[in-house]
Structure formats: C-alpha cells, structure tokens
C-alpha cells in the first residue's frame, strides 16, 4: 500500500543486543512499529540522535515516552512504503519529516 500519511508516535526504549539500550518509534495508541526504508548511515545517525535527544529530555515532554499520552509526541509524515497491523514503514525520501510536537 502506498500513499502519504501522518502519525503520532512515542519513543520506545528496549534492550538491544549485548544489553545495549535501543530506541525506536511506535504509533501512539496502536503500538505498531514505525520505521523507515533504506537509510544511508549518516542519515540514520541523525535520526538516532533525534530519538536520543527526545529520550534524554523526557522530563520536558513526558508523554513522548507514553503509548497513551496525548500531549507530547513525535509526528512522522511522508510516503508510506508498507502498512500492516504490526508495522508502518515510510520511504526515507524528501517528503519524510519527523518532529516533536
């Protein structure tokens, strides 16, 4: 399924490989994973820094870490590559945007 869409997300912290902490986006209320298609390493680093900044500053926007909180969120908008009940994947292109709201 392709098309443009916009979703409100929260930052999900999880334990990754080797006990390292990972951060990812999940859609508010549904909890489905929100991801991007192929991303160049330097672009991926910028996104990881964005998530880390949100996680580290959660005291200023606590709902950014909450599935059901409606005050703070990460809004992701762009062209959809894949849409299922478990995952919403966006194309990483010039139409993609993500920001704290």
In the chain, where are the structural domains located? 3-100
| pLDDT by position in tens, the chain (length 101) | 456 899 999 999 999 888 888 999 999 999 999 999 888 888 889 999 999 999 999 999 999 999 998 999 999 999 999 999 999 999 999 999 999 99
Burial class (CB in 10 A: 0-12, 13-18, 19+), 61: middle
Residue 48's contacts (CB-CB under 8 Å, 6 or more residues apart) are 23
Give the per-residue SS3 of 56-87: HCCCCCHHHHCCCCCCCCEEEEEEEEEECCCE
> pTM for the complete prediction?
0.89
The residue with tokens 């478990």 is: 86
- Report how far apart, in Å, the C-alpha atoms of 81 and of each of 2, 4, 21, 34, 66 are: 5, 9, 27, 11, 25
Task: Kindly report, residue by residue over 28-38, the tens digit of the pLDDT.
Answer: 999 999 999 88
């Amino acid at each position: 399924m392709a098309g443009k869409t916009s979703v409100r997300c929260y930052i999900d912290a999880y334990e990754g490989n080797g006990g390292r902490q990972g951060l990812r986006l999940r859609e508010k209320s549904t909890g489905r994973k929100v991801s991007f298609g192929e991303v160049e390493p330097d672009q991926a680093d910028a996104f990881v820094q964005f998530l880390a900044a949100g996680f580290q500053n959660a005291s200023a926007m606590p709902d950014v870490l909450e599935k059901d909180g409606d005050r703070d969120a990460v809004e992701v908008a762009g062209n959809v590559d894949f849409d299922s009940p478990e995952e919403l994947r966006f194309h990483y292109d010039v139409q993609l945007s993500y920001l704290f709201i």
